[in-house]
Amino acid sequence: MAEVIHMRIGELSEKSGRTERTLRFYEELGLLVPASRTKGGFRLYDSGALIRIHWISRLQELGFSLPDIKEFLTELQGTPDGPAMMGDLRSAYAVKLAATRATIGRLRALEAELAASIDYLDTCKSCAPSTHKTACRACREDDHAEMEVPAMVLAVQTSSSIG
Amino acid sequence: MAEVIHMRIGELSEKSGRTERTLRFYEELGLLVPASRTKGGFRLYDSGALIRIHWISRLQELGFSLPDIKEFLTELQGTPDGPAMMGDLRSAYAVKLAATRATIGRLRALEAELAASIDYLDTCKSCAPSTHKTACRACREDDHAEMEVPAMVLAVQTSSSIG
DNA sequence: TATAACTCTCACGTTGACGTGAGGGTCAGA
DNA sequence: TCTGACCCTCACGTCAACGTGAGAGTTATA
């Protein structure tokens, strides 16, 4: 049996970068249970806790809410044999992989839109410096003339934005 | 002067896909002001509202909070001349472009991790169907043997997950 | 002029993910 | 044994982004 080092919540907080409140909160939700407690009630964690916390963060980045993760764990604990559990895990990950790819796609589209808006706005520098804001709506400067106004720029030039 | 069609909140709600509550909420925050009101107090919006709502959604997808967007608008309204305003817009967008690219990078890393985990879990199918969960921790099936256990799989096989 | 459909303004409720004390025990070293 | 650092359990607060009535007024149409 390997030597298992137990740490108290303060140390785990430092090592994991989470606040103590967060760690206790994870426990409330059933996501992170301390390996044991001292007789006085202090929580004692082993190094697996760090791995677990990392995992939780990953899933959060993937868009899982903490209740989602809890449900996830509960489900996995419900399956009786190993391969079945790994199968459940696999399918959950597969779903999230698809969602992640979709998100990446959306972000790439937004990236392109932002880049186009920036390109367009770059040409604004050549306007007369003190042109009033309302003028931008109908600006016909040479550089602009052929460019279509990006939607993300148009929206700002609309109605209530400009006095 | 072109004919401007005014719509009431119900119609705008339908066309934009937002609830009426959401539209009123946007107004509370100063993000979307109706073009006018009827004598009885009904909100009347013009088509610019749709553009504006779309813009808000875009910014939300980019990670702006509604208060962020409000601040954004206020700032833009503060600048007196057109080119300066466009410059402000440009720099705000530039910041978000960088952040978006960073997010895409993180998601791509997660994507790879998920894919690796799925690959690994695929090899679990070959285990004896009724192997108990705890066995997975020390599984030495042929297909696994050379593969390193991905962190996202390891975390699930740790301590409190398995009875 | 009814009446149905629509809209108005409060104002409290909800979910997620913690923050922030209050008041009081626990542990390790001198 | 004592003290300072650490930890405990309530339990209310917060921020974002709306949801959900309640009770009352407004409009378009028959």
Mean pLDDT across chain A: 85
The domain limits of chain B are 1-64
Burial bucket for residue A77 (CB in 10 Å: 0-12, 13-18, 19+): middle
Taking the alpha carbons of B69, B72, B73, B74 in that order, is the dihedral positive or negative? positive
For the segment A2-31, the average pLDDT, to the nearest whole number, is 92
Per DSSP, helices labelled H in chain B are 9-16, 20-28, 48-61, 66-78, 82-122, 133-137, 142-145, 151-154
B77 touches chain A (CB under 8 A): yes
Q: What is the pLDDT of residues B55-76, one digit of tens each?
A: 999 999 988 999 999 988 888 8
Q: What is the pLDDT of residues A87-124, one digit of tens each?
A: 888 988 999 999 999 999 999 999 999 999 999 888 87
Which residues of chain B are within 8 Å of residue A115 when distances are taken between CB atoms?
A: 97
Residue B115 CA: distances (Å) to CA of A106, B111, B122, B153: 20, 6, 11, 12
Nearest C-alpha in A relative to B30? A160
Q: What is the pLDDT of residues A147-161, one digit of tens each?
A: 788 888 888 876 554
Nearest C-alpha in A relative to B93? A114
User: What are the tokens at A73?
Assistant: 């764990």
Q: How many CB pairs under 8 A join A and B?
A: 209
- Residue A131 reports pLDDT greater than 90: no
Check A77 against B161: CB less than 8 A apart. yes
B152 touches chain A (CB under 8 A): yes
What topology does CATH give the domain B1-64? Multidrug-efflux Transporter Regulator; Chain: A; Domain 2 (1.10.1660)
| CA to C1' distance (Å), from A53 to C10 | 43
Query: Confidence class of residue A132 from pLDDT cuts 50, 70 and 90?
Result: low
Residues 54-83 of A with CB under 7 A from strand C: 60, 65-67
Residue of B62 and B34 predicted with greater confidence:
B34
Indicate the angle between helix axes A9-16 and A48-61, nearest 10 degrees: 50
Mean pLDDT across chain B: 85
Query: Confidence class of residue B26 from pLDDT cuts 50, 70 and 90?
Result: very high
Contact indicator for B118, A132 with CB cutoff of 8 Å = no
| Residue B150, φ and ψ in degrees, nearest 5 | -65, 145
Q: How far apart are CA A94 and CA B121, in angstroms?
A: 11
Check B83 against A124: CB less than 8 A apart. yes
